[in-house]
């Protein structure tokens, strides 16, 4: 029971901390970083719905980010359309493209699906690079207008912080509701066994396409927010590595955990924008390494593993965990722990 | 297109096709035995080329020993991959192995350089990564007590993609982002053939592919180990009942794929150049060539590999319709996608639960 109350206290403290971030007397230097975390959380939530809950791989999620961002940017900058409408059109176009891609692609499974989504990502990136009369080519396009509501323009990072985190929260809540609804249960059934789901009367293909389109629309919204936030977008923001980074975020936050997405996006963005920036090419190595290690030792993701450890052991879980690791290791060194156990087993086999 | 151009594009297609064939061979050998699609196969080839370049440049050794070193390294990475994917508990051991294999080459280079002229920065630059990897290995060892669960398809995909990104980043960090070109093995002047020109290295590429394919065929058909590998592919349980160690067979498959990847990289680098992000393109083409024959027929994968090379080369050469300008890569990628989708009913049958 005490644990229960602690949990809420921690959530409240984190929320308070997060609201205070953009103020001048607090961490206003990191407002830009926090906004980026919000934008990438939106993409990651979409990928979590697709990969964690439905069990379908997508390695081209950044492509939809790019389509949404570019549509919004081109419409609002070159055609003078209101940014909100441009954002909506971007989301709709991305949804249409995603559904057109999804119907044939979801005839594939597993590894083939992974390759197909990878190809989609590469092709969209290629087109953004070479259609220079619309997209500005590899240099990207600048001067995209900011969002505004009835004359109130979101022209400072402080204002955009609350706008984007408002969006992020809205999308997290929508996703949470989807997961806890009939649709969410159907998705989890598909993850468990497609045959079983089909025999229970779930239209497997339709659900897969729907959730793929939903995740694409999330990515498009994030892309539009990105474009209107930085007022700049370039093909570099959605290449193959960007797609892999989104997978890294989803994996760290836990593939089947909606709220872990904030955690995953946060860790990855802090790593890539603040820490790994100083190491040049080595950041790619770090992403690969994190993917491997997390998939081997924490297949549910870092956030859910820590969460379950916290719920089991309370605040002491971290020292306890490390102590237990140290103790096992020490025991092994001291008395050949494995060897003893092995001999014991053999004794039982041959009495 | 004139007949000379046609011959030239055919020659180019066969040359690149031979590399796709080698990668597809690696893909299907691993998939046949273990049901794992190793997304890092193209990166193993890239690594083979990079290492052969590094060894040639820094040691001034003749070409053929470098090929052997490149092959050895790539196969060592194959072992590491196997340990990681099939026996996660031994991952720490495999990381130390990786550190040793990656570290041994710079160390040898340093020894050679030390004898020639003492260059401290080079030493530091080579030792620091090794130490780092070793420390990381130790940290992972501490964590290795926590056992990995049974891997699913999704986690295997993410893991092998992680390996691919890891190798790519390593190559970019160690050898720089510029493309490298090791010297050709024999001769410099092109050979004229039916109005087209053949790069001497192209003969080596096609020859190596053909020889490897024949050897693999003989290996699978006439040796006990090859037959055991085949048995594992058909039914691991039944193979286990007649005394075949499936884990050992998986190890052999990964090593074989590593060797083939290493040879491919070393043999192609003098002609096509090699840069750190080439592994990705090579991997996609090899994957596609192997996917067309369902990942379970190594010899068929070689044939489709050659066919793919010729197709891409001729389409680029035709310079017609969508196959021109900057989009040609995208267009060929979309063709792959369409073919995969059209063949999907057949692919679905081939895919077995892992």
Sequence ranges of the domains in chain A: 29-300, 315-351
d(Cα B343, Cα B323) in Å, to the nearest integer? 23
Q: In a 3-state reduction of DSSP, which class is residue A233?
A: strand
The Cα of B27 is separated from the nearest Cα of chain A by a number of Å equal to 12
Structure tokens, B300: 């068929």
Cβ of A122 under 8 Å from any chain B Cβ?
A: yes
d(Cα B106, Cα B63) in Å, to the nearest integer? 17
Tokens 């692609």 locate to A105
Residue B28 exposure: Cα atoms within 13 Å on the Cβ side: 30
pLDDT above 50 for B145:
no
User: What pLDDT does B130 receive?
Assistant: 43
Q: Which helix (H) or strand (E) holds B351?
A: none
pLDDT in tens, A110-169: 778 888 888 888 888 888 887 777 777 777 788 788 877 777 777 788 888 888 999 899
d(Cα B86, Cα B110) in Å, to the nearest integer? 34
- Given an 8 Å threshold on Cβ–Cβ distance, is A127 in contact with B165? no
Report yes or no: A99 and A209 within 8 Å, Cβ to Cβ: yes
The yes/no answer to whether this complex scores an ipTM above 0.95 is: no
User: What pLDDT does A115 receive?
Assistant: 86
Cβ of A100 under 8 Å from any chain B Cβ?
A: no
pLDDT band at A171 (very low <50, low <70, confident <90, very high): very high
User: Which residues 128-147 in chain A show a CB within 8 A of chain B?
Assistant: 129-130
Name the residue of chain B whose CA is nearest to A241's CA.
Answer: B165
- Given an 8 Å threshold on Cβ–Cβ distance, is A287 in contact with B136? no
User: What pLDDT does B149 receive?
Assistant: 46
The Cα of A25 is separated from the nearest Cα of chain B by a number of Å equal to 38
Report yes or no: B161 and A121 within 8 Å, Cβ to Cβ: no
User: What pLDDT does A329 receive?
Assistant: 59
Least confident of A26-40, A295-309, B21-35, B142-156: B142-156
Q: How many residues does chain B have?
A: 354
d(Cα B93, Cα B90) in Å, to the nearest integer? 5
- Determine the average pLDDT of the residues in B250-262: 78
d(Cα A234, Cα A251) in Å, to the nearest integer? 26
- Determine the average pLDDT of the residues in A257-265: 87
> What's the whole-model pTM score?
0.79
d(Cα B59, Cα B82) in Å, to the nearest integer? 30
Structure tokens, A79: 């055609």
User: What pLDDT does A321 receive?
Assistant: 58
Percent of chain B clearing pLDDT 70 (strictly above): 66
pLDDT above 80 for B317:
no
- Determine the average pLDDT of the residues in A293-319: 71
- Given an 8 Å threshold on Cβ–Cβ distance, is A123 in contact with B149? no
User: What pLDDT does B60 receive?
Assistant: 59
pLDDT above 90 for A95:
yes
User: What pLDDT does A88 receive?
Assistant: 92
Report yes or no: A72 and A178 within 8 Å, Cβ to Cβ: no
User: What pLDDT does B58 receive?
Assistant: 63
- Determine the average pLDDT of the residues in B216-240: 85
pLDDT band at A239 (very low <50, low <70, confident <90, very high): confident
User: What pLDDT does A64 receive?
Assistant: 92
Residue A70 phi/psi, 5-degree rounding, is -65, -40
d(Cα A337, Cα B8) in Å, to the nearest integer? 66
User: What pLDDT does A349 receive?
Assistant: 39
d(Cα A27, Cα B252) in Å, to the nearest integer? 54
Residue B298, CA distances (Å) to A225, B20, B31 in order: 47, 12, 10
The Cα of A104 is separated from the nearest Cα of chain B by a number of Å equal to 6
User: What pLDDT does A222 receive?
Assistant: 93
* Contacts for A309 with CB less than 8 Å, ≥ 6 apart: A317, A318, A321
For A150-198, the three-class secondary structure string (H helix, E strand, C coil) is CCEECCCHHHHHHHHHHHHHHHHHHHHHHHCCHHHHHHHHHHHCHHHHH
**DSSP 8-class letter at A314:** G
pLDDT above 90 for A337:
no
- For A192-205, b/e burial (b = at least 16 CB within 10 A) is eebeebeeeebebe
Residue A48 phi/psi, 5-degree rounding, is -60, -45
Chain A contact set for B157 (CB, 8 A): 57, 110-111, 114
B121 C-beta neighbours (distance < 10 Å), count: 7
User: What pLDDT does B136 receive?
Assistant: 39
User: How far from chain centre, in Å, is Cα B143?
Assistant: 30
- Given an 8 Å threshold on Cβ–Cβ distance, is A112 in contact with B340? yes
Tokens 């995909």 locate to B157
Structure tokens, A246: 């989104």
pLDDT above 60 for A214:
yes
User: What pLDDT does B121 receive?
Assistant: 46
pLDDT above 70 for B127:
no
Residue B197 phi/psi, 5-degree rounding, is -115, 135
pLDDT band at B324 (very low <50, low <70, confident <90, very high): low
Residue B123 or residue B209, greater confidence: B209
Q: In a 3-state reduction of DSSP, which class is residue A21?
A: coil
Sequence ranges of the domains in chain B: 3-350
pLDDT in tens, B50-72: 777 776 666 555 555 666 666 66
Least confident of A229-243, A322-336, B113-127, B151-165: B113-127
> Smallest Cβ distance to A108: which of B164, B169, B344?
B344
Residue B338 exposure: Cα atoms within 13 Å on the Cβ side: 6
pLDDT in tens, B168-225: 887 777 777 777 777 776 767 777 777 777 888 888 888 889 998 999 889 888 888 8
A283 C-beta neighbours (distance < 10 Å), count: 19
Tokens 């096509």 locate to B272
Report yes or no: A59 and A118 within 8 Å, Cβ to Cβ: yes
pLDDT band at A42 (very low <50, low <70, confident <90, very high): very high
pLDDT above 50 for B286:
yes
| Beta strand pairing call for A152-153 and A232-233 | unpaired
User: What pLDDT does B94 receive?
Assistant: 58
Q: pLDDT averaged over chain A?
A: 81
User: What pLDDT does A211 receive?
Assistant: 92
pLDDT above 70 for A61:
yes
- Determine the average pLDDT of the residues in B320-344: 75
Q: Which helix (H) or strand (E) holds A301?
A: none
pLDDT band at B256 (very low <50, low <70, confident <90, very high): confident
Alpha helices per DSSP H over chain B: 3-34, 41-59, 63-86, 91-116, 120-143, 153-175, 200-222, 224-234, 236-241, 246-272, 278-292, 298-318, 328-342, 344-350
User: What pLDDT does A177 receive?
Assistant: 92
Domain A29-300 architecture: Orthogonal Bundle (1.10)
User: What pLDDT does B331 receive?
Assistant: 78
């Amino acid at each position: 029971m005490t644990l229960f109350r602690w949990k809420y206290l921690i959530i409240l403290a984190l929320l308070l901390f997060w609201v205070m971030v953009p103020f001048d007397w607090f961490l206003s230097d990191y407002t830009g970083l926090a906004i980026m975390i919000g934008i990438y959380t939106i993409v990651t939530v979409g990928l979590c719905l697709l990969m964690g809950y439905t069990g379908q791989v997508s390695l081209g999620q950044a492509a939809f980010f790019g389509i949404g961002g570019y549509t919004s940017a081109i419409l609002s900058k070159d055609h003078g359309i209101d940014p909100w409408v441009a954002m909506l059109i971007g989301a709709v176009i991305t949804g249409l493209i995603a559904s057109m891609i999804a119907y044939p692609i979801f005839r594939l499974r597993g590894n083939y699906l992974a390759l197909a989504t990878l190809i989609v990502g590469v092709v969209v990136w290629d087109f953004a690079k070479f259609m220079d009369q619309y997209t500005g080519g590899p240099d990207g396009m600048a001067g995209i207008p900011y969002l505004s509501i009835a004359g109130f323009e979101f022209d400072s990072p402080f204002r955009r912080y609350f706008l984007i985190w408002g969006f992020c929260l809205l999308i997290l809540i929508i996703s949470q509701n989807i997961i806890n609804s009939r649709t969410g249960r159907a998705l989890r059934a598909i993850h468990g066994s497609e045959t079983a789901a089909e025999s229970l009367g779930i239209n497997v293909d339709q659900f897969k396409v729907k959730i793929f389109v939903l995740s694409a629309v999330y990515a498009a919204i994030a892309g539009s927010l990105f474009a209107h936030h930085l007022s700049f977008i370039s093909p570099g923001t959605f290449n193959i590595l960007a797609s892999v980074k989104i997978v890294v975020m989803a994996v760290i936050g836990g593939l089947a955990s909606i709220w872990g997405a904030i955690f995953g996006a946060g860790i990855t963005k802090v790593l890539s924008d603040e820490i790994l920036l100083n190491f040049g090419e080595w950041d790619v190595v770090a992403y690969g390494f994190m993917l491997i290690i997390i998939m081997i030792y924490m297949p549910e993701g870092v956030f859910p593993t820590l969460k379950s450890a916290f719920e089991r052991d309370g605040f002491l879980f971290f020292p306890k965990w490390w102590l237990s690791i140290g103790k096992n290791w020490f025991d092994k060194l001291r008395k050949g722990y494995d060897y003893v156990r092995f001999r014991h087993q053999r004794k039982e086999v041959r009495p | 297109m004139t007949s000379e151009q046609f011959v030239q594009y055919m020659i180019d297609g066969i040359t690149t096709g031979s590399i796709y064939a080698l990668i597809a061979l690696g893909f299907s050998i691993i998939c046949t035995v273990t049901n794992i699609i190793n997304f890092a196969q193209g990166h193993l080839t890239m690594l083979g080329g990079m290492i052969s370049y590094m060894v040639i440049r820094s040691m001034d050794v003749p070409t053929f020993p470098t090929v052997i070193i490149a092959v050895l390294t790539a196969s060592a990475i194959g072992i590491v991959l196997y340990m990681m994917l099939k026996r996660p508990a031994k991952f720490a051991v495999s990381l130390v192995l990786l550190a040793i294999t990656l570290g041994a080459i710079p160390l040898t280079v340093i020894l050679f350089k030390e004898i020639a002229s003492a260059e401290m920065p080079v030493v530091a630059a080579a030792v620091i990564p090794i130490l780092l990897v070793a420390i990381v290995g130790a940290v992972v060892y501490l964590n290795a007590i926590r056992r990995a669960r049974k891997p699913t398809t999704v986690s295997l995909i993410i893991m092998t993609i992680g390996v691919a990104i890891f190798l790519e980043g390593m190559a970019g960090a160690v050898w720089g982002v510029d493309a490298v070109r090791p010297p050709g093995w024999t001769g410099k002047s092109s050979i004229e053939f039916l109005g087209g020109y053949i790069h001497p290295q192209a003969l080596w590429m096609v020859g190596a592919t053909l020889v490897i394919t024949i050897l693999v065929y003989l290996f699978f058909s006439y040796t006990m180990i090859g037959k055991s590998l085949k048995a594992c592919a058909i039914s691991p349980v039944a193979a286990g009942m007649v005394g075949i160690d499936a884990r050992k067979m998986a190890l052999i498959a990964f090593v074989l794929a590593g060797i083939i990847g290493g040879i491919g990289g070393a043999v192609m680098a003098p002609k096509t150049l090699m840069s750190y992000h080439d592994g990705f393109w090579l991997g996609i083409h090899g994957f596609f060539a192997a996917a067309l024959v369902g990942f379970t027929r190594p010899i068929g994968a070689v044939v489709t590999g050659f066919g793919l090379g010729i197709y891409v080369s001729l389409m680029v050469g035709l310079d017609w319709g969508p196959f021109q300008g900057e989009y040609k890569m995208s267009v060929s990628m979309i063709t792959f996608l369409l073919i995969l989708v059209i063949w999907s009913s057949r692919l679905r049958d081939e895919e077995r639960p892992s």
